[in-house]
């Protein structure tokens, strides 16, 4: 499974990643997305969530 990182400076808290890959992303105490480690979704689901981020705040390594 790839490593995930959410850029908190870019994240606007829209929740798309959480809606698409709720086992890999959650909201933090500030309403921004953060990664759940290890990710609980398959690689394709995580990639779809990353690609759907409107501000490209998710990095997959």
**In CATH, what number is assigned to the domain containing residue 30?**
3.30.70.20
Nearest-CA neighbor of 9 among 27, 29, 32? 32
Task: Give the total number of structural domains in the chain.
Answer: 1
Q: Would the pLDDT of 2 be above 80?
A: no
pLDDT tens readout for residues 9-30: 999 999 999 999 999 999 999 9
Mean pLDDT of 35-40: 94
The percentage of residues in the chain with a pLDDT greater than 70, rounded to a whole number, is 98
Q: How far apart are CA 1 and CA 54, in angstroms?
A: 23
Domain that holds residue 10: 4-60
Q: How buried is 36 (Cβ within 10 angstroms: 0-12 exposed, 13-18 middle, 19+ buried)?
A: middle
């Amino acid at each position: 499974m790839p490593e995930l990182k959410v850029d908190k400076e870019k994240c606007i808290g829209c929740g798309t990643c959480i809606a698409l890959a709720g086992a890999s992303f959650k909201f933090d105490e500030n309403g921004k997305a953060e990664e759940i480690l290890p990710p609980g979704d398959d690689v394709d689901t995580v990639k779809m969530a990353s690609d759907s981020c409107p501000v490209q705040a998710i990095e997959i390594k």
